[in-house]
Amino acid sequence: MNQREPAFSAVLAVKEFRALWFSEAQSIGGDQLAKVALMILVYRETNSALMAALIYALTFLSALVGGLGLSQLADRFPRRDLIVACSAAQAVLVGLMAIPGTSIPVLCVLVLGVGLVQSPALAAQNAVTREMFTDDALYLRSQDLRGITTNTLMLLGLAGGGVLVVGIGPSWALALDALTFVVSTLVVWRWVHDRPVAGTKKDGWFGGARWAFSERKARVLITLSWLVGLVVVPEGLAAPLAHAIGAGDEGVGLLLAADPLGFVLGAFVLSRFVGAETRVRIIGVLATGAGAVLILFVLQPSLGFALALLALAGALGAYLITVTATFNTLTPNEIRGGAFGLYRTGLRVSQGVGVVLGGAVAQWTGSATNTVALAGVLAVAIAIPATVAWARLQRVDRRTPLTERTRSYPSEAPST
């Protein structure tokens, strides 16, 4: 590794990032337990698979509403204070969920509240992380660490989350999640620097969103990120896909784990062996590859081959870390919270729509494997023109460091 590509230890040497990373990691672990606990709790109370699914869907709905409407708060208030306030609010809301006997309607309201509060917190966390690093390569490495940590915890959640929740009970699992938010509140308040408000009222409430759609580079990056909605189709079809390839119910968990495992490995390889500038140049190629791999499901693969394909798609899908980091660097600081809200909301919506449409197509065609292959074809069809557009933009300013290019953009967004 050359000096331009810092090690993870260099990232963790930054005290406030170390605090924010720890806070995020333990909170994500708690959230994994909470999701399982809520579904088990609701199913036990109602004996309704629909109600259990509704609770899960509410987390998506609240993220959609909060991401578009509340992320701008990260540009209107001190970001550290916003993270602290939101974490404290989430601790209270999840703590109320943990009270035995809480009615299902109240649980639904609390779940919506947690999701709404989470959106500005994530926007603030994302924006303040970019402010912690003046070096692009060091910042990108920090995002690698976050991505690897998040997906590793998701894998652990798949492997043991259900067993742990059954062992300690849903209420205790929710109480544990509430405790993680208390820890986050204290850690961020104590060790993350207090910075002044980044934005102003003249930027407009949706200034970040307007900027993102008016800036060509941002539009290409958004396209490449929302492409993930097609790559996740196999996850939504894990059960019918397992039966289609002869793996039965036993293969469902393996198919679900293959993509995040591949993502972790891909993120590590990119972080360890590929330079930051090269990673920025090849994001389109990797995105195209992630879709192309899925086309091979038309061959009706065996379980082993299917796992290899999904792991490879996940590894190539680690390009998303670079896309997100590049988008954040490109975005002016004063509108970064609102712009990230649009970015993340679109990403979540694309995943939800992709899974739903994938299920509908599989139901209509009667073939889960061909549906996955079709998703791959569509992904490639979208990725290729986006890749060409990104390559052209890169040729224009290849000799100029990304941070210098970013400073050339207007600092103010259109006013309302």
pLDDT (0 to 100) of residue 271: 92
Q: Say which DSSP state 93 is in.
A: H
Q: How many CB atoms lie within 10 A of CB 166?
A: 13
Cα end-to-end span (Å), the chain: 48
Which of residues 198, 228, 261 is at a domain's end?
A: 198
Q: Could you read off the pLDDT of 329-348 as tens digits, one per residue?
A: 999 999 999 999 999 999 98
Q: Are residues 96 and 17 in the same domain?
A: yes
Q: Are residues 173 and 214 in the same domain?
A: no
Q: How many CB atoms lie within 10 A of CB 145?
A: 18
pTM for this entry: 0.88
pLDDT (0 to 100) of residue 400: 57
Q: Could you read off the pLDDT of 11-56 as tens digits, one per residue?
A: 999 999 999 999 999 999 888 888 888 878 887 888 776 676 677 6
Among 74-78, 160-164, 221-225, 381-385, which is the least confidently predicted range?
Answer: 160-164
Question: CA neighbours within 13 Å on the CB side: how many for 58?
Answer: 22
Q: How many CB atoms lie within 10 A of CB 252?
A: 16
Which of residues 145, 176, 198 is at a domain's end?
A: 198
Tell me what the mean pLDDT of segment 171-189 comes to: 96
Q: Which residue has the higher pLDDT, 351 or 121?
A: 121
Q: How confident is the model at residue 145 (pLDDT cuts 50, 70, 90)?
A: very high
Q: Could you read off the pLDDT of 278-301 as tens digits, one per residue?
A: 999 999 999 999 999 999 999 999
Torsion of the alpha carbons at 112, 114, 117 and 119, rounded to the nearest 10: -80
Counted domains in the chain: 2
Contact indicator for 37, 110 with CB cutoff of 8 Å:
no
Q: 3 vs 7, 15, 266, 274, 416, CA distance in Å?
A: 9, 21, 21, 13, 45
Residue 411 has pLDDT above 70, yes or no: no
Rounded to 5°, the CA angle 187-193-199 comes to: 120
* Segment (H or E) for 272: helix 250-273
Which of residues 156, 176, 198 is at a domain's end?
A: 198
The Cα–Cα gap between 160 and 145 comes to 22
Quick check: is 49 in a domain?
Answer: yes
265 is written with which tokens? 């490995």
Q: Are residues 43 and 146 in the same domain?
A: yes
Percent of the chain with pLDDT over 90: 64
Residue 416 has pLDDT above 60, yes or no: no
Q: Which CATH number fits the domain that encloses residue 316?
A: 1.20.1250.20
Q: Collapse the DSSP code of 249 into the 3-class scheme (helix H, G, I; strand E, B; otherwise coil) and give the result.
A: coil
Ordered alpha helix ranges (H), 157-237: 162-168, 170-191, 207-214, 216-226, 228-231, 233-236
pLDDT (0 to 100) of residue 127: 95
Quick check: is 403 in a domain?
Answer: no
Q: Are residues 125 and 162 in the same domain?
A: yes
Query: Which residues have a Cβ under 8 Å from the Cβ of 162 and sit 6 or more positions away?
Result: 36, 40
Single-letter amino acid code for the residue at 238:
A
Q: Say which DSSP state 412 is in.
A: -
| 3-state class percentages of the chain: helix first, strand second, coil last, to nearest 5 | 80, 0, 20
Torsion of the alpha carbons at 126, 71, 199 and 202, rounded to the nearest 10: 150
391 is written with which tokens? 């390559």
Q: What is the mean pLDDT of the chain?
A: 88
Q: How confident is the model at residue 236 (pLDDT cuts 50, 70, 90)?
A: confident
Q: Which residues span the domain enclosing 105?
A: 1-198
pLDDT (0 to 100) of residue 410: 44
Q: Are residues 63 and 124 in the same domain?
A: yes
360 is written with which tokens? 């509908």
Q: How many CB atoms lie within 10 A of CB 287?
A: 29
Q: How confident is the model at residue 62 (pLDDT cuts 50, 70, 90)?
A: confident
Q: How confident is the model at residue 381 (pLDDT cuts 50, 70, 90)?
A: very high
- Minimal CA–CA distance to 139: which of 317, 6, 331? 6
